[in-house]
């Protein structure tokens, strides 16, 4: 069992020196609120510089355009990364209807522009319901998933075709928070390995007008919340 006192967070930041000593000796964790345009590796590299601890891992990659909760493990605590990665996740996602992009998010320009004016609230509710439960999902071609030892985004940037086998993931719930066409704000609870970009694209296909992930924030990993997470700039 992981002791919450071993986590660097807003509530434990006043005890940073003690946390750092524990992290170097026995291993520890940190809750980080990742900024937009940072990669997960950027966060690890920055914390390596702050802590002077070489062995650091993160528990679940966030795309550069996404913000929110990353759990970092330091030193001996990296042995427990797999158990933390296996925890369910919660995301706040903003979808834009009426277009798609190559990356399924806002990294690339919109294409396949379609009229969305005929889409109703009932259409959105019914489409979302079809993606609750165990679903088959493919990773986006612009993602860090490895196939044949190479990350998918590298195949994409080289314009090489690659077969992407689907995975079974579990979407526990999709809650519609706000509809302000063409934008759809939803909260998603899901298992590890769920690609919210793929979910956005699939919902768009189901609606017949296309959609892509305009903005994404991870708010929870298991019982750990971004509300208690630190920005890198908060850390001494």
Q: How far is the C-alpha of 145 from the C-alpha of 138, rounded, in Å?
A: 10
Whether residue 63 lies in the annotated active site? yes
Residue 229 neighbours by CB distance under 10 Å: 24
Contact 8, 31 (CB under 8 A): yes
- The token duo for 78 is 């990296």
- The token duo for 25 is 């000796």
Question: Cα 37 to the chain's mean position, in Å?
Answer: 13
Q: How far is the C-alpha of 7 from the C-alpha of 13, rounded, in Å?
A: 9
In the set 17, 35, 42, 63, the catalytic residue is 63
The burial of 153, by beta-carbon neighbours within 10 Å (0-12 exposed, 13-18 middle, 19 or more buried), is given as middle
Q: How far is the C-alpha of 103 from the C-alpha of 152, rounded, in Å?
A: 11
Q: Any idea which residues carry the catalytic annotation?
A: 63
């Amino acid at each position: 069992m992981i002791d919450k006192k071993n986590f660097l967070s807003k509530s434990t930041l006043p005890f940073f020196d003690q946390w750092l000593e524990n992290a170097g000796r026995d291993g520890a964790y940190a809750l980080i609120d990742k900024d937009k345009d940072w990669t997960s590796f950027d966060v690890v590299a920055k914390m390596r510089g702050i802590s002077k601890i070489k062995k650091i891992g993160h528990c679940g990659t966030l795309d550069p355009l996404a913000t929110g909760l990353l759990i970092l493990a330091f030193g001996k605590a990296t042995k427990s990364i797999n158990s933390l990665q296996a925890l369910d996740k919660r995301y706040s996602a903003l979808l834009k209807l009426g277009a798609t992009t190559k990356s399924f998010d806002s990294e690339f320009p919109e294409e396949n522009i379609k009229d969305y004016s005929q889409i109703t609230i009932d259409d959105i509710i019914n489409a979302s319901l079809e993606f609750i439960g165990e679903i088959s999902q493919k990773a986006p071609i612009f993602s860090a998933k490895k196939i044949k030892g190479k990350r998918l985004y590298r195949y994409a940037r080289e314009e090489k075709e690659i077969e992407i086998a689907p995975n079974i993931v579990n979407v526990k719930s999709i809650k519609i928070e706000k509809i302000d066409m063409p934008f759809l704000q939803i909260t998603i609870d899901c298992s590890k390995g769920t690609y919210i970009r793929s979910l956005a694209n699939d919902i768009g296909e189901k609606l017949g007008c296309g959609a892509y992930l305009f903005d994404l924030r991870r708010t929870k990993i298991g019982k750990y919340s971004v509300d208690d997470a630190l920005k890198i700039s908060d850390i001494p």
